[in-house]
Every structure is written in C-alpha cells, then in structure tokens.
Amino acid sequence: MNNKKRVLLFIMALTVLVMGCGPKKQDAAKGDEATAKAEKALDIDLYIMSQCPYGVQAMQAMTPVVEKFKGQVGLNVDFIGNKKPDGTLGSMHGEKEVQGDIDQLCAKEISHDAFLKFAECVNKTSREIPANSEACAKEAGIDAAKFKACSTGDQGKKLLSASFDNSQKKGATGSPTIFIGGESYKGGRSQQAIEQFICQKYGESKKLDYCKNMEPAKEVKLTVITDKRCGAKCDPARMIESLKSIFMGLKADIKDWNDPGVQDIAKAAGITKLPALFFDKTVEEDKAGYEHMNRWLTKTGDYYIVKVRADFDPNAEICDNKKDDTGNGKVDCDDETCANTLACRPETPKKLEVFVMSECPFGKMAVNAMPEVLEAFKGDMDFEVNIIASQSGDNVTSMHGPSEVEEDIRWLCAKKYYAANNKYMDYLTCRSSAAKTDDWKACATGPIKAAVIEKCATGDEGKALIVENIKIANGLGIGASPTWLVNGKTQFSGVTPKAVQDNFCKANAGLKGCETPLSDDRKTKAPAGSCGG
C-alpha cells in the first residue's frame, strides 16, 4: 500500500478524489452576469453530487463565503455522474439525484444569483431532493414556468450532460472535488475554514477586501514520529501537506523513533504504531480547523492523536529486511509475528480474495461482479470475501458506522454457514444490489436461513468471527474497499467482472474461465474507486 492511500483514511472527510478543473463558461446571452463573473478576482470550482452529504456540506459553506467576499470571489458548480451509450444519465445515488442535479443547473441557467439561494434552500432538506425543488425555486424568486420547462424538458438533460462532461474532462470523480484559484483544495469544508484558506493564500495577491480585517492564522504545533526503517510507507510528507491546508499556521516537528527521548514521548501519548501524528493543545486555538478535524482526533492526556492508518510496529520484526529486529534469533518470516504479512504469505494458485466494507458502494460493486466470475471459473477458483474494519480494545469499528459492523458480521456468519459452493454470495449480492435498508432478512431466502444468521450475528460467535477475520486485512495492511488479492500475493483493484478476470488470469494462465467473455461496463457504470485507504 502506498503512502497516498494511507493519507486517505483521515482526509477522506475532506474530499474523496481531487483532480483538476476550470471555470465553466457562461452563455454570451447572460450579458452583465457573464461580465461580472469574468471580473471575479478568484474562482471556486466545485464538483458535487446533489444528494452526497459531503457535497451538500461543501455547497452549504460556499454560499456565505461568496456573499462575504462581495463579488470578488465567484462560484462555479458542476455535477458528477455518468452517461450510458444510449444517452441515459445516471448518478451514484439514483434517479432522484439526477433530477436534483438538473434542477440546480436549471436554477443556475435562469439566474446565477438566484441559483445560490435555490441551492441553499434545497440543501437544507437535502434528503427531500428533488421534491423540494419547486418550493425552493419560488423562494429564490425563479420564474416558475421557465424552471418547470427546463426541469422537465430536454434543456435540463442537456445542461446535466454538459455538466457531466465538464466533471469528466477535469477528472472529478469524488463529491466534493474543490479547486480554489485553479488549485486543488483539501481543507475543511466549514465556512470559516474556506475563508481562512482564501485569505491566507490569496488575500494579498488578489487584493481581497474581506481579508483585510481577518486575524492571522493561529499557530498549531504538530509532532510527527516516524522510523527510517519503515521507508516510504511511513513518510509523513503528504499527510503534513494535507494538514497544512486545514491549519494555515501549522508547525510540524518530525522525529525518528530512535532519536533521543522520542520513545518516551510516544509512551506518554500512548503510541505503539507508526507513523504517528499528534497535536498539542494549540490545535484548539484554530477553531475552524479543530472543528473540522475533531472526528479524526483521539485525545490522550495532553495530546490529540490523528487517526491515520499506522501499522508499522517499531518494536516488531520487520519481515523483509533479512535482519533479526527483535533479537529473538528469528529472521523475517521465521518469526511467527510475520505470518499474516504479504511478504510471508504462501502463494496459493487459483486463490482469489476480496477485502471490502459491507456498506462501501465500491465494495458492493465488486461483490456484484462475482456471480458472473464464479460462473465462468466454476471449480477453478477458490474465492473468499474478507472484511475491512478496525479494533480498539473490545470494540470493532468501521468507516460507515455501527450499522456497517453489524452487516459485516452478518456477511461473515453467512460465509461460515453457507460456504459450500459460495452459496453465501447469494446473501451478499442481494444486500449489495438493494437500496440501503435495515431489512436484511429479505435477502436471507431459500437455503439461507435468517434465524441461523441472526443467532450467529447477535451473539459471541459473530463477534469472534469479525475479530478474527479483520486480522487478515490488518496484517496485510489493506484498508481500501475493495482490494483484491490473487494467489495470496498480488493486489489489484477493480469492480467489473472483466477486470477481475484479467487480473486473476495473469497469475493463473490457461484456465478455461480465462477464455470466457465477461462484461466490462466501466463506461456505463459509476467510476471505480474505493472507501478508505
């Protein structure tokens, strides 16, 4: 796993994937409005999905920012989705999101100023999008007839198609993707955080009036502990740069594990794995940054530990350096602590594993690809689903909350009791295909009994299953859902049957299933990605 993926664990609340973008050109018929936009001192380019909570959060912060800068800062908004060959428009959160995207673009087409009021209104009750569009158009003062004609007619679809093209051309696949002044922005999504970033970076050069009375950024002290033996995977450079976009006054002090006194500092902060990043109490002084990062911090005494993925144990055997790091006379894979690492895993022909989070949309896509793959390879593939989660003390946690842990356990219970011929996949694919619902029993049909899964999942048996299973992903350093592992050794990512087949066959040439044509609908589905890192 490269360091970029590690960074994603704690910056994922900031952005999903960030790529380039540019301001959207306005129709020449807009006249004064187009001229006003062209004269903005600074542009914010925002790429979102209308029902993505993170996109909604970003959009809600942008409106007051634009108002505060009184015409010197402009906001350009495009939407993220996909187009099928027949021209049908799609989005990750379904048809309602597509219509919600269209309604916002129609509001923007009619009046850019009214669009900001409209967007603010619909986002107050974003779960009701697009049912709240008509009332919000009225509230924003948008001509009802023009809005309806655009929203329900070809004009709205054309606007969204063009907007999807803009996002795709700029590589924007995660909601939100934000650029400020043409540069990628990864900082906090609160109004205060955005204002602080703009004034710190552009206030003087762009002569922004609002910034003249803004206080300078608070100094925030960050300590980073790494280990030169850990190499690139413990390199904190990217993490520090990401944090600098949140805390404008960040001061980072990088220390090596073997530097004098560092291990005492680590002990005081309760740190056992590297890389480790932690703030002192100065982090509280930057209220906007602290508010944004609070969910990613764990307070230990006087320290605020950043919840970054850290799996290098400086006191353990390093499994691929040909040295006895612990002094127990055992080198690399001879040390039993190395058993679950990728370096020491035995190669197992015809083996395919996928590591997922049960509520990750990309993990669900991967699971849904497997029935076609399993049918093609039949008895020539030993397939297994494993879970990605974390354990702290007696508690198991997962990215998408307690409900995901509960579903993870049900997946493992189904796997235990219905492993023969991968029958458990019927339950997994049913749950992965349906809209999110608590009614999991609707997918426990036929030979799969809800009572069996429930008894397992709600008792000590299910807890033991997940505690044991997540050791596999954690031992391998796998944190992105989905991650595939071929023959126990080779990682890849992908969500289509063809992608799985191609990568499996690279390591298992000559199998009959490698000749079977499998679907490859990357172009008609939502872009592949991952949850976590």
The per-residue pLDDT string of the chain (533 residues; one tens digit each, 9 = 90 and over) reads 444 444 444 343 333 323 222 223 333 333 333 333 446 899 999 999 999 999 999 999 999 999 999 999 999 999 999 998 888 999 999 999 999 999 999 999 999 889 999 999 999 999 999 999 999 999 999 999 999 999 999 999 999 999 999 999 988 999 999 999 999 988 878 888 899 889 989 999 999 999 998 888 889 999 999 999 888 889 999 889 888 878 888 999 999 999 999 999 999 999 999 999 999 999 999 888 898 889 899 999 999 999 987 878 898 888 888 889 888 999 999 988 888 788 898 999 999 999 999 999 999 999 999 999 999 999 899 999 999 999 877 889 998 999 999 999 999 999 999 999 999 999 999 999 987 788 999 999 999 999 999 999 999 999 999 999 999 998 888 989 999 999 999 999 889 999 999 999 999 999 999 999 999 864 434 455 778 76
Query: φ, ψ for residue 70 (rounded to 5)?
Result: 45, 60
* Beta carbons within 10 angstroms of residue 205's beta carbon: 10
pLDDT at position 527, please? 52
Walk me through the domains of the chain, giving residue ranges and CATH numbers: 19-27+35-185 (3.40.30.10), 346-532 (3.40.30.10)
Query: Which residues, 6+ apart, have CB-to-CB distance to 254 below 8 Å?
Result: 224, 226, 236
Can you read off the two tokens belonging to residue 38?
């062209």
- Amino acid making up residue 10: F
In this structure, are residues 399 and 532 in contact, taking their beta carbons and an 8 Å threshold?
yes
Burial of 256 (0-12, 13-18, 19+ CB in 10 A): middle
pLDDT at position 528, please? 59
pTM above threshold 0.85: no
pLDDT at position 16, please? 31
Half-sphere exposure of 404 (CA within 13 A, CB side): 20
